[in-house]
Amino acid sequence: MAASQILIGFHAVSARLRFAPESIKELYVEAMRRDRRMLALIEQAQAAGKSARAVGMERLEGLAKGQRHQGVVALADSLELAMDIDEVLDDATEPAFVLVLDGVTDPHNLGACLRTADGAGVQAVIAPRDRAVGINATVQRVACGAADTVPYLTVTNLARTLRALKERGVWVVGTDDEAEKSIHDIDASQPIAWVLGAEGEGMRRLTRETCDELVNIPMAGSIESLNVSVASAVCMYETVRQRAAKKAAK
């Protein structure tokens, strides 16, 4: 039996209705809300063969457990997009493009990282199983549906997974404020895995030592570093930029 999860807010529910409507078991909407956005969601649900049950705010608050729900909550089966990084890369039609998050435990940061990863075309996001937040309702809401489209793989041994990526010809690049090279000094268009640690602690020692290269994100102001979700976006879109430039030059 598939594990269940709660989807909260328009983005998360609408995305699931698009990609996997069969996984939605129950859909609840605010009884008193009938604006254009709500009517569009109800219509989307009906088109997907799902009915929306109108309930009061008290019921929605209970289902959402205090989180901002916008008048929309769904109960659904959890989706498993992929179980193995090799499977993901074998199915990929573009050079490897992976994001590795070492120690990110804030669901808002993870949700933002997944949303940007989806936009950048990242094939998978990898995190250690024992030092990472899982895909919960907050992640689903912040990710705006990307948690259902980008495989989020948790592994028992991150360093071993990085070494396995390297054996497949993937260049493992970590970010470090003290690194001599910047993200603009390397060939980020090659098969790549960007590795970022959590704010404050950064990457763990073994993770850092396993990277092929360490680079910094140039900072011109007084702030020393960026939030991990912003830093990951900068790195991922450097790959997007370089790959686009390489294609244009051919």
State both tokens at 37: 């956005």
Same domain, 156 and 45: no
Q: Is 85 annotated as a binding residue?
A: no
Q: Does 200 appear as a known binding residue?
A: no
pLDDT tens column, 76-135: 887 655 457 888 898 889 999 999 999 888 889 999 999 999 999 999 999 998 878 877
Would you give the distance in Å from CA 201 to the centre of its chain?
21
Which CATH number covers residue 53?
Answer: 3.30.1330.30
Under DSSP, the state recorded for 203 is S
Residue with tokens 């050079």: 95
Count Cβ atoms within 10 A of the Cβ of residue 201 and give its class: 0-12 exposed, 13-18 middle, 19 or more buried. exposed
Residues 105 and 60 in one domain: no
Same domain for 172 and 225?
A: yes
Please report the pLDDT score of residue 25 as a whole number: 92
Per-residue pLDDT at 82: 47
Same domain, 72 and 165: no
Let me know whether 16 and 115 are in one domain.
no
Are both 93 and 167 inside the same structural domain?
Answer: yes
Contacts of 172 (CB under 8 A, 6+ apart): 100, 162, 165, 166, 192, 193, 195, 210, 211, 212, 213
53, 77, 101 - which closes a domain: 77
Q: Please give the residue range of the domain that contains residue 34.
A: 4-77
Final residue before a domain boundary, out of 52, 77, 102 = 77
- Does residue 51 sit in the same domain as residue 155? no
Mark whether 64 and 100 lie in a shared domain.
no
Would you state the pLDDT for residue 1?
45
Q: Check residue 3 and give its pLDDT.
A: 62
Please indicate if the annotation marks 110 as binding a ligand.
Answer: no
Start-end of H helices in the chain: 10-19, 36-47, 57-64, 85-91, 107-120, 137-143, 158-167, 205-210, 228-249
- Contact residues for 160 (Cβ-Cβ < 8 A; gap 6+): none
Residues of the chain with confidence (pLDDT) below 70: 1-3, 79-83, 143-147
Domain count across the chain: 2
* Collapsed DSSP state (helix, strand, coil) of residue 184: helix
Q: How far apart are the C-alpha atoms of 228 and 138, rounded to whole Å?
A: 17
Structure confidence at residue 221 (pLDDT): 80
How many residues are present in the chain? 250
**pLDDT the model gives residue 125:** 94
Verify that 89 and 57 share a domain, yes or no: no
